[in-house]
């Protein structure tokens, strides 16, 4: 968006397990979103506030999604709170699908959403929950160590279309404040940065996590992170659906609620959780141009 914008810009606000997003409908990709504007929108004091921006564009209208247009009409052009782009956001894609339903673009049932991490299959349940087929996890044997306040832990390297480092801790408080990204070694394993999850056991196939998201600091929830955590925990517990032929399900508590993650024998991972639209309105053109209070 530039200073030439003379009309209000429509927005909505939504969240999935309190991972919250500014939603910008822009079917024909006519809105310029420089990183500085995204950061202003996500500012919790001077902007709307959010962990990221869901830019809603028809796949055929966006260069990053045209190749997926035959599979998915809509593209989730996801931006982190600092303005950087990201491959995928699990909570974001649930909220994105809920917006499509809210706007009348789709009805309850199966929906395909294009992302930089590929096309994601979403099921909008009539009870309000949303299930997303998140694809398959890629586990790496690259060793990583994460450190906080003098403590360090080995972390499992899991890729869910975006990178994750999963560390098991006795107490989630050991993760510290998570204002800044915890240091990890070797840094070369994640050349583009990483999402870091700290995980504590709560019961049989039940864990809790905290997460520092790349480009957003600690968030109340992370969908791809919950999937990475479930896969890493299953392997730690000796549960591999491909070996047993039986799906494995974990309940993952996040600060903002609960997600249910199921890994199937073919490797496909499904995530189920809530998605809510909470507000909508318009942005003042003067604020968008940088001249508003």
Binding-site annotation, residues = 19, 80, 90-91, 162, 195, 213-214, 223-224
Helices 90-102 and 223-236 cross at an angle (nearest 10°) of 140
86 DSSP assignment: -
DSSP H or E run through 91: helix 90-102
- Cβ(29)–Cβ(65) under 8 Å? no
Q: Are 143 and 133 in contact (CB under 8 A)?
A: no
Which of 196, 211, 222, 254 is an active site residue?
A: 222
As to burial, measured by CB atoms within 10 angstroms (0-12 exposed, 13-18 middle, 19+ buried), residue 179 is exposed
**Joined tokens for residue 230:** 């479930």
CA-nearest of 199, 269, 272, 273 to 237 is 199
Annotated binding site for substrate: 19, 80, 90-91, 162, 195, 213-214, 223-224
What is the distance between the alpha carbons of residues 241 and 189, in angstroms, rounded to a whole number? 27
Choice among 12, 48, 68, 89 that is catalytic: 89
Q: Which helix (H) or strand (E) holds 286?
A: helix 285-288
For residue 17, cis peptide bond before it (omega within 30 degrees of 0)? no
Closest CA to 164 of 201, 212, 207: 212
Answer yes or no: 227 catalytic.
no
Q: How many CB atoms lie within 10 A of CB 249?
A: 16
Please give the Cα distance from 162 to 88 (Å, whole number). 6
* Residue 89 designated active-site: yes
DSSP-assigned states of every residue in 207-246: EEEEEEETTTEEES--HHHHHHHHHHHHHHTT--HHHHSS
The catalytic residue positions are 89, 222
């Amino acid at each position: 968006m530039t200073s030439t914008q003379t009309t209000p810009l429509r927005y909505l606000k939504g969240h999935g397990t309190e991972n919250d997003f500014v939603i910008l409908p822009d079917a024909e990709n006519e809105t310029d979103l420089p990183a500085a504007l995204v950061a202003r929108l996500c500012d919790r004091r001077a902007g709307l506030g959010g962990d990221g921006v869901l830019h809603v564009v028809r796949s055929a209208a966006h260069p990053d999604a045209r190749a997926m247009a035959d599979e998915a009409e809509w593209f989730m052009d996801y931006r982190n709170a600092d303005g950087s782009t990201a491959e995928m956001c699990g909570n974001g894609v649930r909220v994105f699908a809920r917006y499509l339903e809210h706007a009348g673009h789709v009805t309850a049932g199966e929906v395909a959403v294009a992302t930089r991490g590929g096309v994601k299959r979403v099921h909008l349940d009539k009870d309000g929950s949303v299930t997303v087929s998140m694809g398959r996890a890629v586990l790496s044997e690259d060793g990583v160590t994460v450190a906080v306040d003098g403590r360090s832990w080995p972390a499992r390297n899991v890729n869910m279309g975006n990178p994750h480092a999963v560390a098991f801790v006795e107490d989630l408080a050991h993760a510290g404040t998570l204002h800044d990204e915890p240091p990890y070694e070797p840094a070369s394993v994640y050349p583009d940065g990483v999402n870091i999850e700290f995980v504590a056991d709560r019961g049989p196939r039940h864990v809790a996590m905290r997460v520092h998201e790349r480009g957003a600091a600690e968030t109340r929830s992370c969908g791809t992170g919950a999937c990475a955590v479930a896969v890493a925990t299953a392997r730690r517990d000796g549960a591999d659906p491909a070996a047993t032929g039986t799906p494995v399900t974990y309940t993952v508590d996040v600060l903002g609620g609960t997600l249910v993650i199921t890994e199937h024998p073919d490797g496909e991972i499904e995530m189920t959780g809530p998605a809510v639209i909470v507000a909508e309105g318009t942005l003042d053109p003067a604020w968008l141009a940088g001249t508003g209070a």
